[in-house]
Structure 1
């Protein structure tokens, strides 16, 4: 056997080892990943409900808090929700393989993603909620589906508790704590400074992605 054949066998074995290792790591992640907590601070987690999102649903915000800090965006995730009204912002995203010849540097898939949707759920303690919609069968259906997308959210009894609609880019369901702080400073100049910072934070949380990019370009010019 020549050294060339030895190197080829070694290389194939290395690829196989890497693939198997990656599979074990991903399997471990999926089996040990806990639910995503959607709030900050302490709360009675025993009363939390669960919102199950399939891999096609990308939950972006819950009550104004970003939920997009994941390395892979093709995961089915479970989100813990506290009882009461919860405002959820999400999109629906599908990937379809391209047919025919793909040029160098060109993507091999079509990505179809809806505009952001919003839904407000009156969450009950310990309940399990799911997204309910009729998935498209092909890319053409997906593109038509994306133009007029809406999803129901159902409870464990399959009762519809909320129906999504197009997100206006502003409402977040976040309690107006920051705006309350703005008016609490009285005539004290130090409190006024804190109020301004709180108001800026509140406005940033309500800004759209395009408004944020425009502001950053202006700030760093």
Structure 2
């Protein structure tokens, strides 16, 4: 909860940060292309992107400078870990920033398509707080109306005072260019599906999760973990 004395400083910092960022973010190599050549993903300003295809990306988040931001991507499949974050006024003197655990939004789009990340907007701060451990949503193809439900990420983000405002957990970017994943293949026949089910899950997905959780861990938690694996 934020006191009245801190609100002006917080709002100034957020305003300056938001104004310094464009609501349109190019996340592919090379010069800018027309919308007919790229995949556009519109993200509401209340939704912050944690990772895209397992990579942290700088410049994709704004706080309230615009109603949305648009991510311009190469056509293909993307897993977008994103969470809800919003500043709520509790009374004349106090505000609260509500931040949820992330959900995994799946977008598999072609050139020229526009998708939007969507969620059930809370009507008040109590409803917003109820989303902290159960945030979900869907990706919507704005032309066809196709909807893809977001999946649980099983990640838990810190909810301290500094983290949700400075975005420290997503501030160290590995790249500003995100390559698409391989698009989903047609449903396999029954024998092929059974064989695929017998195969172990790709190690990279677990590795990405471990990396993300390591970055969120406190120094004490990291020490305890290292002691545990050395036993």
TM range (shorter): 0.5 to 0.7
Distance in structure 1 (CA, Å) of the matches to 2:140 and 2:103: 16
Deviation at 1:28, TM superposition (A): 7.5
Root mean square deviation of aligned Cα? 4.1
The answer to whether structure 1 residue 207 and structure 2 residue 210 are counterparts is yes
The answer to whether structure 1 residue 167 and structure 2 residue 153 are counterparts is yes
Tell me the residue number matched to 2:160: none
Tell me the residue number matched to 1:64: 54
Tell me the residue number matched to 2:106: 120
Superposition pairs of residues 48-63 of structure 1, within 5 angstroms:
48-63=38-53
Tell me the residue number matched to 2:131: 145
Deviation at 1:86, TM superposition (A): 1.0
Maintained 8 Å contact 2:74/2:180: no
Maintained 8 Å contact 2:76/2:180: no
Distance 1:67 1:131, change over 3 A: same
Deviation at 1:175, TM superposition (A): 6.1
Greater RCO (CA < 8 Å, at least 6 residues apart): 2
Structure 2: unaligned runs, 5 residues or longer = 1-11, 156-178, 183-204, 224-231
Distance in structure 2 (CA, Å) of the matches to 1:214 and 1:116: 19
Deviation at 1:117, TM superposition (A): 0.9
What's the TM-score, normalizing by structure 2? 0.55
User: What secondary structure does 2:81 align onto?
Assistant: strand
Distance in structure 1 (CA, Å) of the matches to 2:19 and 2:91: 34
Please give the per-residue CA displacement for 1:158-205, whole angstroms capped at 9, x wherever unaligned. Answer: 623321122145xxx9869xxxxxxxxxxxxxxxxxxxxxxxxx9975
Structure 1: unaligned runs, 5 residues or longer = 1-18, 103-107, 177-201
**Pick from 60, 63, 73: which aligns with 2:63?**
73
- Greater per-residue helix proportion: 1
Distance in structure 2 (CA, Å) of the matches to 1:28 and 1:99: 27
Deviation at 1:27, TM superposition (A): 9.9
